[in-house]
Amino acid sequence: MGAHRDDAQWPDEAAAAEARAALVREIAASGALEDPAWLAAFEEVPRHIFVPYYFVSRPGGYDRLWGGDPDPVRRRRWLRGAYADGPLATRVRDGELISSSSQPSLMARMLAELDVRDGDRVLEIGAGSGYNAALLSHRLGEELVTTIDLDPEITESARAHLAAAGYRPAVVTGDGARGCPERAPFDRIIATCTLPSVPRGWLAQCGPGARILAPLATGLIVLRVGDGARHDRAEGRFLHTAAYFVPLRGVPGGGPLTRRPVGGLPRRAAENDLFRFLLALTEGSLDPHEALSLWERERRPKRERYGVTIAGDQQWAWLDDPEGPYVWPLSPGGP
């Protein structure tokens, strides 16, 4: 299957299969693999092929683990990490993380929420290691899957990993904020990088009733695109799940995630994940102390009470009701 591999540099198939089966059991136990089609994808797509090396943090930097390490102890450590239910840093540049392989159980939840149907055309924003595109290709067929990334080194390695695993979806080097018009229309768009807002161009490349799932403000927003004349409108709510991804490059505000100053705020709020979500969602439009008053007045709302609406060139976040009283403009949606 795929490209030749030097057995001295890779685990034997039995060891990899055992590790993969253990990971699938762990994800399934969390309830994230109820769909038999996605269960089969996670059972059959070998994650270790997509992470031939990765980085683990250590004091002062990162330590590189790889499958070809001459030390068998480090090779076993690499394999355990490849099939652990956690994110893996796959590309670091000048000390900054620029690409990763997401936590498998989170990937499973996101793919389930994408709600694909046979025949759906899917655009993935952020190619990463290629593993997510392989799962989509297994489920839908590679001819229906497009994955795009701004960095040619990332797309080159993703394409090689996918081919080695036996999949050849369209891997495009380009600005994901602009989508991929030459492969449109899409029934589903899934982003694996954090957005400051939803790029306007995505809606124009969606078919009526399409679904967009993307990380935004440490949460996951699920948007349904309107039908017919309302094709430039999309709306939806956040999932309850927290999500922390590498930021999307190529859009205003798409650099490293900022942490808003919380000086003078009570520690119980400053360190609370749900309050930090509200701060991220309302950055630039709501003072942190006002955000705290709202958060406490509304009994510390969970992520699923928030949503996003896109209407033409405007988009805004809201609590409970898109028509108010709590609404906040989001930054312009990019190209």
Q: What is the pLDDT of residues 197-220, one digit of tens each?
A: 999 889 999 999 999 999 999 999
**Does residue 79 belong to any structural domain of this protein?**
yes
Indicate whether 96 pLDDT > 80: no
- The verdict on whether 293 is a catalytic residue reads no
Sorting pLDDT into bands at 50, 70 and 90, what band is 4? very low
pLDDT band per the 50, 70, 90 thresholds, residue 252: low
Domain membership flag for residue 261: no
15 and 134 assigned to the same domain: yes
Q: Both tokens of residue 228?
A: 């017919």
Q: Among 35-39, 176-180, 310-314, where is mean pLDDT lowest?
A: 310-314
In this structure, are 138 and 282 located in the same domain? no
Structure tokens, 178: 């602009």
Which pLDDT score is estimated for 12?
79
- d(C-alpha 157, C-alpha 152), whole Å: 9
Domain boundary among 166, 192, 218: 192
* Structural domain ending residue among the three candidates 192, 214, 239: 192
Q: Distance (Å, rounded) from C-alpha 29 to C-alpha 24? A: 8
**Residue 228 in domain:** no
| Residue at 224 is within a domain | no
Domain around 321 = 267-329
Boundary-marking domain end, from 133, 162, 192: 192
Cα distance between residue 80 and residue 75, in whole Å: 9
Are 165 and 296 contained in the same domain?
no
Residue that is written with structure tokens 């705020």 in the block: 265
Residue 122 placed within a domain:
yes
Question: Longest C-alpha distance within the chain, in Å?
Answer: 63
SS3 string of the chain?
A: CCCCCCHHHCCCHHHHHHHHHHHHHHHHHCCCCCCHHHHHHHHHCCHHHHCCEEEEEECCEEEEEECCCCCHHHHHHHHHHHCCCCCEEEEEECCEEEEEECCHHHHHHHHHHHCCCCCCCEEEECCCCCHHHHHHHHHHCHHHEEEEECCHHHHHHHHHHHHHCCCCCEEEECCHHHCCHHHCCEEEEEECCEECCCCHHHHHCEEEEEEEEEEECCEEEEEEECCHHHCCEEEEEECCCCCCCCECCCCCCCCCCCCCCCCCCCHHHHCCHHHHHHHHHCCCCCCHHHHHHHHHHCCCCCHHHEEEEEECCEEEEEECCCCCCCEEECCCCCC
With respect to residue 136, please indicate whether it lies within any of the assigned structural domains. yes
Specify whether the CB–CB gap between 174 and 150 falls below 8 A: yes
Is 318 found in the same domain as 178?
no
Please report the pLDDT score of residue 59 as a whole number.
86
Question: Whole-angstrom Cα distance, residue 40 to residue 319?
Answer: 37
Considering the domain boundaries, does residue 313 fall inside one? yes
Alpha-carbon torsion angle 289, 292, 293, 298, nearest 10: 160
Residue 139 has pLDDT above 70, yes or no: yes
Question: Which residue in 148, 168, 150 sits closest to 159, CA to CA?
Answer: 168
The span from the CA of 59 to the CA of 105, in Å, is: 27
Q: Which of 99, 101, 105, 137 is catalytic?
A: 99
Assess contact for 212 and 201: CB atoms under 8 A: no
Total structural domains in the chain? 2
CATH of the domain at 36: 3.40.50.150
The answer on 89 and 186 residing in a single domain is yes
Would you state the pLDDT for residue 251? 55
- State how far the Cα of 105 lies from the Cα of 42, in Å rounded to an integer: 10
Q: Report whether pLDDT(115) > 50.
A: yes
| 209 within domain boundaries | no
Q: How far apart are CA 113 and CA 214, in angstroms?
A: 11
Residue 227 has pLDDT above 90, yes or no: no
Stronger pLDDT, 261 or 102, i.e. the higher one: 102
> Does the pLDDT value for residue 327 go beyond 80?
yes
Q: How many CB atoms lie within 10 A of CB 105?
A: 21
